[in-house]
Structure 1
Amino acid sequence: MDLARYVISKDCAPNVVTYNTLIDGFCKKGEMEKAMDVLVDMEHLKRLKPDVAIYNTLIDGFCKKGEMEKAMDVLVDMEHLKRLKPNVTIYNTLIDGFCKKGEMEKAMDVLVDMEHLKRLKPDVTIYNTLIDGFCKKGEMEKAMDVLVDMEHLKRLKPDVTIYNTLIDGFCKKGEMEKAMDVLVDMEHLKRLKPDVTIYNTLIDGFCKKGEMEKAMDVLVDMEYLKRLKPDVTIYNTLIDGFCKKGEMEKAMDVLVDMEYLKRLKPDVTIYNTLIDGFCKKGEMEKAMDVLVDMEYLKRLKPDVTIYNTLIDGFCKKGEMEKAMDVLVDMEYLKRLKPDVTIYNTLIDGFCKKGEMKKAMDVLVDMEYLKRLKPDVTIYNTLIDGFVKMGEMDKAMDFVHDMISKGIEPDEVTYSILKAFVEPDVLLKIGGLCK
């Protein structure tokens, strides 16, 4: 860009290529006003005629910024003032711009203008863009209409990407039968081979609906009929699906298949999913077994999320000593810093057991040793705990403490207090916050 400016400033007879380079540079930086200034300089001062490439660059620049009206203004200037014919690339750019903004009617208007007024033939890329746009909006009937137009009227062959887009669209809407119909059409009528991404999408769709048998059927079809190798993402999806249904034995079977038959290494996400599944079922010993397997056999480092999950699981079972043991392991052996969520969970666990002194100890550790600031949720938990123990003075001490630290009581705070505190006291509390 600097060289192009130098050439122009030194009256070195810049040509169209020089201006195109400069305009392209500004467009890539998103500086569209400067790009337009260069166009004006080129036309009115240097009397050079911009070519199609320059207009393509400008239209692309405005589309990337989502300024579609300005992109269309450039098209009008190009066609009606400069008498230049836009090409397929320009129409593709415009259609893509409108699709990205979700303005599908305008995208279709551009297609009509391109085909019926300019007599240009849209290519597979344009149809892919339109189908993707409708799928992202969940308008699957219109996406299928575009496919029909593409195939039967334009005699264009859809590629794997288009089928992937359609299958993904139906899966996101939970319309798995239609997604499978598209797969059948793709394979048996169009003789296209689905890839791992398509199978991942289908498996994820069935898992999200809790239809695990069908998800496993897709896996079998993928492996033994299509000879495709499932990746870690697919196994993660299946394990997550079984965990969400509480079918932990099946989730563990998938892990075994993944590791010992497919020789794939499970990642931290998979272990997190398994630990979360066992914790939700209250099977804490098994959750800890998974942690041991993860750390000492697979040499993977558990993260804060995993420790949060384990602590929450023990707290829900009222096993507070074990929850504190996990905290110690996390801090002093793994050198991980617990966050506010973990402290909230521990304080809530002690409060539910009525062990308010231990809840207070956790708060002290959090504030003065870890330098973490308790939030309104932690204060509400403590206030509620003291109220349930009948210790109203201590509950009110925490109300004043939170206000003094700039934390305003919320609806939950007032809900806890209103059954035990006089209305005028509640009004005073409200006044302290102002």
Structure 2
Amino acid sequence: MVWVSASTSHAHPFPSAERSVTVRCVSISPREPNHSIRFDEERKWEEKNTKMASRKAISIILRREASKAVIEKKKGPNNSKKLLPRTVLESLHERITALRWESALQVFQLLRQQLWYKPNVGIYVKLIVMLGKCKQPEKAHQLFQDMISEGCVLNHQVYTALLSAYSRSGRFDAAFTLLQGMKSSHNSLPDVHTYSILIKSFLQVFAFDKVKSLLSDMRRQGITPNTITYNTLIDAYGKAKMFVEMEATLIEMLGEDDCKPDSWTMNSTLRAFGGNGQIEMMENCYDKFQSSGIEPNIRTFNILLDSYGKTGNYKKMSAVMEFMHKYHYSWTIVTYNVVIDAFGKAGDLKQMEYLFRLMQSERIKPSCVTLCSLVRAYGRAGKADKIGGLLRFIENSDIRLDIVFFNCLVDAYGRMEKFAEMKGVLELMEKKGFKPDKITYRTMVKAYRISGMTSHVKEVHGLVESVGEAQVVLNKPDF
């Protein structure tokens, strides 16, 4: 097996240019006796201005901090209607970005109480988009009504934001009603962005017939799909393994004059073929995209590594790693997770552990995906002591665990017939605030059944129906 060390202490590929700085020295003539006096006066004046500016800056900072304290308490004193505009808007932006919709709406209500407040369409759109992402269509509709009551001019961006909120929550009837209303209006006509949002929502629920209907409707309206629309279709068809439709969409995209494929197009295509084990097709597509001028990025290489690793092509995987090392592509947590999992499945624990140490030395925090790969590898290799060491590492870290990790632990101990440790995982789960799911108990039943422990099988089998449904987990890394 070929292995290339992934040391990241590289020189930058573009060395910084040398800069020459010329310093001009001016001598002070002793024939100018008043120069030192003027210099002192200027220095004192400058110091005075600096102190005044400093006090002013401190005053502004203190006022902003006081305003933020009022916002956090959400119940201000009588002057809560005189908060600094910048402070309130910053607080609102922070909450919108973090998708803290309840807190964002509270800050927005505080904003509307200010003496300086004027309705702003842009702020409303951002709030409605946020509520759509948080699956709060009713709240989004309420804000839409508030806009109307405040006399805001409704444009296609407002309607598109509300349509997005409906479609994200699966309220397609409401979304279609809104779309029909937009089509009959004069200043809020739907555009390619409006249709692309609806198409993406239908693709997420595999309603491909609805997608075809929307594409036909777009053409009747004289709206041409853009790169984002095509990329969304290609990605969805690839994930659904609908390769005929994916290729047809790609060909149609290539036929458009103003719609060129980009790195997202390439990555979606490579992931579709590579994830399905069609390595030769993936490589052919990679060559064609590159020859057309589309440059690979870190996601491209992560997809290649994952595809080669899953098919056991470690030589090509190492070649990709060498290329990344040579051209200074910085590894991400996804890169590390992909290669750690690949070497773990190959039983190469030495390289797997080396990568895990390298990951930490690069200050990249391991995730639950990383830990699961390690546990699975140790379980297959019968290394119970290694799992114990990993658990001690976790105890001294702040890594957020999930139910999938504990199920991996149960499976690993069950494989090694370490039944006491397997039952101990249930106690560890309780300690960490997790409850077993169906996968947990089914994994235990499988382990007991393989070892012929019939009484234990009956004991645990009765617990399977008493717990909630198992969580759906995506095995593919988030590229």
Q: One fold, TM greater than 0.5?
A: yes
Which residue pairs with 1:104 in the alignment?
Answer: 137
Aligned pair 1:257/2:288, yes or no?
A: yes
* CA deviation map 1:182-206 (0-9, x unaligned): 3444355234x43322221111121
Which residue pairs with 1:174 in the alignment?
Answer: 206
Does the Cα contact within 8 Å between 1:66 and 1:101 map onto a contact in 2?
no
Could you tell me how far 1:174 is from its partner in structure 2? Answer: 2.0
Could you tell me how far 1:161 is from its partner in structure 2? Answer: 2.6
2:231 to 167, 175, 200: 200
Does the Cα contact within 8 Å between 1:294 and 1:301 map onto a contact in 2?
no
Which residue pairs with 1:49 in the alignment?
Answer: none
1:296 to 296, 309, 322: 322
Cα distance change, pair 199–367 in 1 and its aligned pair in 2 (3 A): same
* CA deviation map 1:144-177 (0-9, x unaligned): 2112112204553223332332222222222234
Distance 1:87 1:407 in 2: 48
Matching of residues 111-260 of structure 1 within 5 Å? 111=144, 121-191=153-223, 193-259=224-290
Which residue pairs with 2:78 in the alignment?
Answer: 37
| One-letter amino acid matched to 2:316 | V
Could you tell me how far 1:124 is from its partner in structure 2? Answer: 1.9
Which residue pairs with 2:377 in the alignment?
Answer: 346
User: Percent of aligned pairs with the same residue?
Assistant: 17
* CA deviation map 1:296-349 (0-9, x unaligned): 34535774323323224424xxxxxxx246448747999979965454333333
Does the Cα contact within 8 Å between 2:125 and 2:158 map onto a contact in 1?
yes
Which residue pairs with 2:304 in the alignment?
Answer: 274
Could you tell me how far 1:213 is from its partner in structure 2? Answer: 1.9
Residue ranges of structure 2 left out of the alignment (5+ in a row) = 1-54, 396-404, 432-439, 460-479
Could you tell me how far 1:130 is from its partner in structure 2? Answer: 0.8
Does the Cα contact within 8 Å between 1:23 and 1:39 map onto a contact in 2?
no
* CA deviation map 1:199-222 (0-9, x unaligned): 211111212221122122222222
Could you tell me how far 1:289 is from its partner in structure 2? Answer: 3.0
Could you tell me how far 1:38 is from its partner in structure 2? Answer: 2.0
SS in 2 for 1:269: helix
| One-letter amino acid matched to 1:273 | I
Cα distance change, pair 378–372 in 1 and its aligned pair in 2 (3 A): farther
Does the Cα contact within 8 Å between 2:336 and 2:359 map onto a contact in 1?
no
Between stretches 405-414 and 323-332, larger displacement belongs to 405-414
* CA deviation map 1:242-271 (0-9, x unaligned): 233332222222122222x12334344334
Between stretches 123-132 and 95-104, larger displacement belongs to 95-104
Which residue pairs with 2:102 in the alignment?
Answer: 66
Distance 2:118 2:298 in 1: 55
Does the Cα contact within 8 Å between 1:340 and 1:372 map onto a contact in 2?
no
Could you tell me how far 1:70 is from its partner in structure 2? Answer: 8.3
* CA deviation map 1:267-312 (0-9, x unaligned): 44334433433444xx42xx22322331334535774323323224
Does the Cα contact within 8 Å between 2:230 and 2:253 map onto a contact in 1?
yes
Could you tell me how far 1:127 is from its partner in structure 2? Answer: 0.7
Distance 1:408 1:114 in 2: 48
Distance 2:78 2:57 in 1: 14
SS in 1 for 2:193: helix
Cα distance change, pair 37–238 in 1 and its aligned pair in 2 (3 A): farther
| One-letter amino acid matched to 1:143 | A
Could you tell me how far 1:91 is from its partner in structure 2? Answer: 6.6
Distance 1:106 1:340 in 2: 39
SS in 1 for 2:229: helix
Which residue pairs with 1:46 in the alignment?
Answer: none
SS in 2 for 1:190: coil
Aligned pair 1:311/2:352, yes or no?
A: no
Cα distance change, pair 278–188 in 1 and its aligned pair in 2 (3 A): same
Distance 2:205 2:428 in 1: 45
| One-letter amino acid matched to 2:244 | E
CA RMSD of aligned residues (A): 5.4
Distance 1:364 1:155 in 2: 65
Distance 1:101 1:386 in 2: 43
Distance 1:381 1:62 in 2: 41
Distance 1:253 1:105 in 2: 48
Cα distance change, pair 26–342 in 1 and its aligned pair in 2 (3 A): same
Does the Cα contact within 8 Å between 2:70 and 2:76 map onto a contact in 1?
no
Residue ranges of structure 1 left out of the alignment (5+ in a row) = 8-21, 43-52, 316-322, 352-358, 388-394, 427-434
Distance 1:381 1:57 in 2: 50
Does the Cα contact within 8 Å between 1:102 and 1:137 map onto a contact in 2?
yes
Q: What's the TM-score, normalizing by structure 1?
A: 0.61
Cα distance change, pair 4–245 in 1 and its aligned pair in 2 (3 A): closer
Does the Cα contact within 8 Å between 2:411 and 2:444 map onto a contact in 1?
no
Could you tell me how far 1:371 is from its partner in structure 2? Answer: 7.4
Does the Cα contact within 8 Å between 2:448 and 2:454 map onto a contact in 1?
yes
Matching of residues 349-360 of structure 1 within 5 Å? 349-351=380-382, 359=383
